[in-house]
Amino acid sequence: MLATAGLVQAQAQAQPSASAVAAARELITIKGGDAVFDPIIGGVIETVKNLFVPTNPNLSKELDEVAEHLKKQYAAKQDELMNEVARIYAEKFSEAELKDLVKFYKSPLGHKMATTEPEVIDASMKRAQLWADAFSGDVMSRFREEMKKKGHDL
């Protein structure tokens, strides 16, 4: 009984405050993270619609109409998703830390970081892929060398 009461109390304490979630939402918005969520709702609706099209090709027009209707109807879900992500930030950072991050991202350097980081990540991923491709060729050559020593031509 005491263990259960302690668990309930710990869970209640783990919930971030409304102001921490608000600070997290502001941080996400400043960093441009809210734009990442924009295509999710429409994407889910299109995916579900496309599940119906192959077995109901004659209903394509009506399915498109329903999809557009649902996109408008579910637009408010964007806010729900934003709150979910903001809660994650608010669980990982204190309210004071979130406010400091907001302050940083509002600064010129923070703004530069927020606007440049997606480009840096994209370029980094491309560069890492090129590196991995070259490394893969080296590893393949080494496999062939080592297997040749064992009497196998690959």
pLDDT digits (tens, 9 = 90+) for 14-71: 799 999 999 999 999 999 888 888 888 999 999 999 999 999 999 999 999 999 999 9
State how many domains the chain has. 2
Q: What is the DSSP letter of 17?
A: P
For residue 7, is pLDDT > 80? no
Name the nearest CA neighbour of 38 among 29, 51, 48: 29
- Let me know whether 130 and 88 are in one domain: no
The residue to which tokens 């031509």 are assigned: 153
- Domain range enclosing 42: 17-106
Determine the residue type at 42.
G
- Let me know whether 23 and 91 are in one domain: yes
- Let me know whether 117 and 82 are in one domain: no
- Across the chain, mean pLDDT equals 90
pTM score > 0.85 for this model? no
- Let me know whether 63 and 128 are in one domain: no
- Let me know whether 80 and 150 are in one domain: no
Cα distances (Å, whole numbers) of residue 23 to 87, 95, 131, 150: 10, 7, 39, 62
Confidence at residue 117, expressed as pLDDT on a 0 to 100 scale: 92
107: left (phi over 0), alpha (psi -120 to 50) or beta: beta
- Let me know whether 78 and 34 are in one domain: yes
- Let me know whether 64 and 101 are in one domain: yes
CA atoms within 13 A on the CB side of 129: 6
Confidence at residue 122, expressed as pLDDT on a 0 to 100 scale: 94
For residue 10, is pLDDT > 90? no
- Let me know whether 94 and 116 are in one domain: no
- Let me know whether 83 and 100 are in one domain: yes
- Let me know whether 101 and 115 are in one domain: no
Q: How far apart are CA 127 and CA 113, in angstroms?
A: 20
- Let me know whether 94 and 131 are in one domain: no
Q: How far apart are CA 62 and CA 70, in angstroms?
A: 12
For residue 4, is pLDDT > 80? no
